[in-house]
Structure 1
Amino acid sequence: MALTTDFAGIEPASRTAEPKQDYSRYRIVPARHPERLAGTIFAAVVIIAVLYSTFTNPRWGWGVFAEWFFAEPVLVGLGRTLLLTALAAISGSILGTALALARVSKSPLLSGLSWGYIWLLRSIPVIVLLLILNNLGYLYETIEIGIPFTDTVFIDYPTVQLLTPFAAAFLGLTLNQSAFFAEIVRGGILSVDHGQLEAAAALGLPRRRQAFRIVLPQAMRSILPTGFNELIGLAKSTSMVYVLALPELFYTVQVIYRRNLEVIPLLMVATVWYLIIMTVLSVAQHYIERYFSRGAVRNPTPLPFQAFFERFRRPLPVLDSAADKVRNLGFHDATALRAGGAVRIHGISKSFGSLKVLDDVELNLPAGSVTAILGPSGSGKSTLLRSINHLERVDEGFISVDGDFVGYSRKGDTLYELKEKEILKRRADIGMVFQSFNLFPHLTVLENLIEAPIEVRGVDREEAVQLAQELLARVGLSDKINAYPRQLSGGQQQRVAIARALALRPKVLLFDEPTSALDPELVGEVLDVIKELARTGTTLVIVTHEIGFAREVADTVVFMENGRILEAGPPARIFTQAEHPRTREFLAKVL
């Protein structure tokens, strides 16, 4: 109060602006870093000393090194090393990926078998494993393939002839590599946000497509650094196969220096070749990591030859004049894109452990209706929404869309639970827009939109691209068709998510708090799109905290608390004459 009084009498005229100063005469002196300079000098001294000692000491035998570096025996051993590395890396990576997928499988027996394999193979030293495989003929004289527990044999071959030193080396390195690589891949899979799996499942993508198109490409950013580290270790581990008398690079060098006694120069031959191998692998790692970082950075650096390969990319089809008109129409004329479905919720309940999140929920939503679900946090709104498209399986009760039970097939009075494959197909009729967008960050906007129509609906690519172009035009994002999600604002990402859900032409569209992750200034652009969708006849179910939006758009407003529907009715009644005291108390706080 004193401050206000002290300054209240100051005349506006007395607040004169400071004269503009000329700063061009100032000289900027960079900050000095004596510790950094000292470290640089120390590193330079060490490098010079090592190089001088290495190249001036005659005992290194550089003449002998030059004589043997490109010698035929060394190059043959090098070729065998490279072949072993390549074969073991490819087979070990494939087997390791399969083991990782088995580890995260819902089958306890398959997951346990994978865990046991990984535990055993990671426990055995490579050199011991190689020796065991090399002596496998002692345990099993022949390898037989036939019908178990019968005398029928199709193949009978001596183990010693089948398991040559090269085969034993290849098999040993593969088994060892796969065990370690499996955990690397599993770690990468677990690093992918769970929302990506939910988004893929909500689109109805098959499990195999979810794994290899959505999850693994994103997991590669976590897999590659450690995976290439294992690959480099594998290339060096090939030196251990000397115990099998297999003439790879290191064994060949050993044989030579035992004959001419030039130990150091021959070891340097092997060392330099290993350095070359590791350098090539490191360069490859750099560019492969850049490739899989697509969508992770706003301004990615172009890959080598990227411009050349872009010439062969199929151009996008040009929108015809009729489709071009939709740019300014929004969804006013888009009723042909979808037909609303009636949703019936029959007494569903759901618990997470001892916490009951849905308690005997009963609700009927007519085809083409717009329903807004309100309630405090933790009231079960999102769980109810996720139950409608079977992302959450209810403990009791049923949900149907146009008479078809979600997650079940009906024969008479009997309901048969559907397999995951069939559930995914039916889920395509129930689109979902998530609170955190859940766009696939490694795919462009166009790829996000066409993925499900092609894989789930069986639409050909050209038709899917044309539909994607039209939907992007309707949400005002035609110019972002080749952008990655990270290059978009939050409001743009949510509009793309709406277009992606609509690309499947669903009967029902679910919105899980579509504006809660947006800045206030971006909320309006998303709500405008939903308002236009509300007039198209699509059945919309919206969980929201935007009370004014719910009042304007919804046909029915539902208020939930503690997993129960306390009140449901038209907005005019709910917002002005609510019957339940808890509804009135909640609205009094938010209106």
Structure 2
Amino acid sequence: MNHQKIPGSVPGGEPDVIHADEAPQEDDLSLQVTGRPRPGRWFAVLAATLFAVWLAYTVIVNPNLHWDIVAKYQFDGVILEGLWVTVQLTLVSMVLGIAIGIVVAVMQLSDSPVLRLTAGAYTWFFRGTPLLVQLIFWFNLALLFPEISIGIPFDGPKLISWQSNQVITGFVAALLGLSINEGAYMAEIVRAGIQSVDPGQREAGASIGMSNRRILSRIILPQAMRVIIPPFGNQFISMLKTTSLVSVIAGADLMTVSQHLYLANFEVVALLLVASLWYLVLTTIATIGQHAVERRYSPGVAPVLRSRVLANLRPGRTKKGAAA
């Protein structure tokens, strides 16, 4: 039989032996936690479900939507060409916008007041004026500069020149407007990310002889990515939809070709549905990619980023950084 020893009441005496069955047992309190009834929440869920079912039914059975036209044009060659132009505009504009944003953000954090003033004026102007106005301006650049030339400034000889109307096509004007405008927003995002990194990181890199360029690329930017990635994902998704504005300058994007089609067959709502469905597909793919990248650069992987930064500070690499 199981038993245990407990100290006796007499000092120095042998401990008393009691059986385990006789040992004091703690009360076994089984607590059951039940949630407070929330009838308001259940009512809201029921109302939202009924509304969603009613809306879906109304949209599906509405004869004025012409779902046969939607199915006919969803994979039409003209629509797919416009879709490809939209993807191109988004990707190229974002790449150029990121490059511009990094340069402008570094200028904003520079010790030179001239660089800071130039970067500040750039972000102030392009964030302060509507994108639609900028697109129309770039498309009509020939009204201001009929000829684009390379040569000696101040009325010097021209080495080579082009007609502005031949160079600034609808696609080029869309790229200029979207990328330059996006660069102003990305500059603020990158600047916030760089400033979120502890200044001691820069000082540590400088103390071992790394150049400013190496410190920025090897230490600062990898850690700033945790702050940059979430708003960058939002900007990318926003850019997918913002490309529809280039329809005002005949950019040949998805929205432009949809407009051309419904102006010819008068199926306005059906063609707008076709474009909307493709935009939903693109934004869904972009959202999935954003979540995947955010998980990679989330605060939970900070040790991985720190180990990567420490790996960049190894003697072999620091010598290269000092030489650079």
User: Which TM-score tier does this pair reach, normalised by the shorter chain?
Assistant: 0.7 to 0.9
Q: Distance in 2 between matches of 1:147 and 1:283?
A: 50
| Pairs within 5 Å for 1:438-587 | 441-443=303-305, 445=307, 448=310, 451-458=313-320
Deviation per CA, 1:71-114: give whole Å up to 9, x if none: 11111111111111111111111111111111111111111111
Please give the secondary structure, in 2, of the residue aligned with 1:179.
helix
Q: What secondary structure, in the 3-state scheme, does the structure 1 residue paired with 2:27 have? A: coil
How far apart in 2 are the matches of 1:458 and 1:176?
A: 36
Larger fraction in strand: 1
Map Cα deviations across residues 260-303 of structure 1 (whole Å, 9 max, x no partner).
2221111111111111111111111111112223xx32xx6xxx
Unaligned ranges ≥5, structure 2: 1-9, 12-21
Trace 1:334-413 onto structure 2 (pairs within 5 A).
Answer: none
Are the structure 2 counterparts of residues 442 and 150 from structure 1 closer, same or farther at C-alpha, using a change threshold of 3 Å? farther
Question: How far is the alpha carbon of 1:29 from its aligned partner?
Answer: 5.1
1:447, distance to aligned residue in structure 2 (A): 5.4
CA–CA separation in structure 2 for the residues paired with 1:218 and 1:237: 29
Q: Select 1:116's aligned residue among 114, 121, 128.
A: 121
Per residue, is there more helix in 1 or in 2?
2
**Equivalence for 1:222:** 227
Structure 1 equivalent of residue 148 of structure 2: 143
SS of alignment partner, residue 45 of structure 2? helix
Divergent runs of 4+, >6 A: none
Out of 25, 34, 38, the residue aligned to residue 30 of structure 1 is 34
1:78 aligns to what? 83
CA distance in 2, matches of 1:139, 1:259: 34
Whether the 8 Å CA contact 1:204–1:452 is kept in 2: the answer is no
- Separation (CA, whole Å) in 1 of partners of 2:44 and 2:31: 28
Distance 1:180 1:444 in 2: 28
CA distance in 2, matches of 1:248, 1:78: 6
3-state secondary structure, aligned to 1:443 = helix
How far off is 1:449 after superposition?
5.2
8 Å contact from structure 2 (residues 201, 219) kept in 1: yes
Question: Which residue of structure 2 aligns with residue 232 of structure 1?
Answer: 237
Name the SS of the counterpart of 1:154 in structure 2: strand
CA contact (8 A) 1:129 1:172 kept: yes
The Cα shift of 1:155 comes to 1.8
- How far is the alpha carbon of 1:18 from its aligned partner? 4.5
Partners of 1:164 and 1:78 in 2: how far apart? 18
Aligned residue among 290, 306, 309 for 1:285 = 290
Distance apart, 1:181 and its partner CA:
1.1
Does the C-alpha gap of structure 1 residues 458 and 84 become closer, same or farther in structure 2, counting only changes over 3 Å? closer
1:212-235 Cα deviation digits (max 9, x unpaired): 221112222221221221222211
1:188 alignment partner, one of 186, 190, 193: 193
Deviations 1:183-203 (A, max 9, x none): 111111122222222222233
2-side partners of 1:262 and 1:77: how far apart? Answer: 18
Give the direction of change, closer, same or farther, for the CA distance of 1:458–1:245 in structure 2 (3 Å limit).
closer
Task: Flag the 1:146–1:266 CA change in 2: closer, same or farther, 3 A.
Answer: same
Deviation at 1:241, TM superposition (A): 1.0
Deviation at 1:140, TM superposition (A): 1.3
CA-CA distance at 1:19 after TM superposition? 2.1
1:40 to 45, 58, 66: 45
The correspondence for 1:270, drawn from 266, 269, 275, is 275
Deviation at 1:441, TM superposition (A): 4.7
Q: Which runs of 5+ in 1 are unaligned?
A: 1-10, 301-439, 460-591
Q: Which amino acid aligns with 1:283?
A: I
How far, CA to CA, are the matches of 1:196 and 1:33 in structure 2? 52
Give distance in 1, aligned partners of 2:305 and 2:225.
14
Q: Once the 2 structures are TM-superposed, how far is the Cα of residue 451 of structure 1 from its aligned partner?
A: 1.8
Cα distance change on mapping 1:94 and 1:446 into 2, 3 Å: closer
Q: Using the alignment, how far apart are the partners of 1:120 and 1:100 within structure 2?
A: 15
Taking the aligned partners of 1:126 and 1:147, their CA distance within structure 2 comes to 32
Cα separation, partners in 2 of 1:97 and 1:112, compared to 1, 3 Å: same
Query: What letter is aligned with 2:53?
Result: I
Alignment-derived partner of residue 204 in structure 2: 199
Q: Corresponding residue for 2:74? A: 69
Q: Secondary structure at the match of 1:106?
A: coil
Change (3 A) 1:73 1:201: same
Aligned residue runs from structure 1 range 308-347, under 5 A: none
| Structure number with higher relative contact order (C-alpha < 8 Å, ≥ 6 residues apart) | 2
Please give the alpha-carbon distance, in whole angstroms, between the structure 1 residues aligned to 2:177 and 2:308: 44
Residue aligning to 2:26: 20
Partner residue in 2 for 1:106: 111
Name the CA shift for 1:71/1:458 in 2 (closer, same or farther; >3 Å). Answer: closer
Contact kept, 8 Å, 2:218 with 2:312, in 1: the verdict is no
- State the Cα distance separating 1:33 from its structure 2 match: 4.1
Aligned length: 303
Q: Per the alignment, in what secondary structure is the counterpart of residue 132 of structure 1?
A: helix
| Root-mean-square deviation over aligned CA pairs | 2.6
**For the residues of structure 1 that align with 2:132 and 2:248, how far apart are their CA atoms?**
8
Q: Which residue identity does 2:34 align to in structure 1?
A: P
Contact 2:139–2:170 at 8 Å: present in 1 too?
A: yes
TM-score by length of 2: 0.85
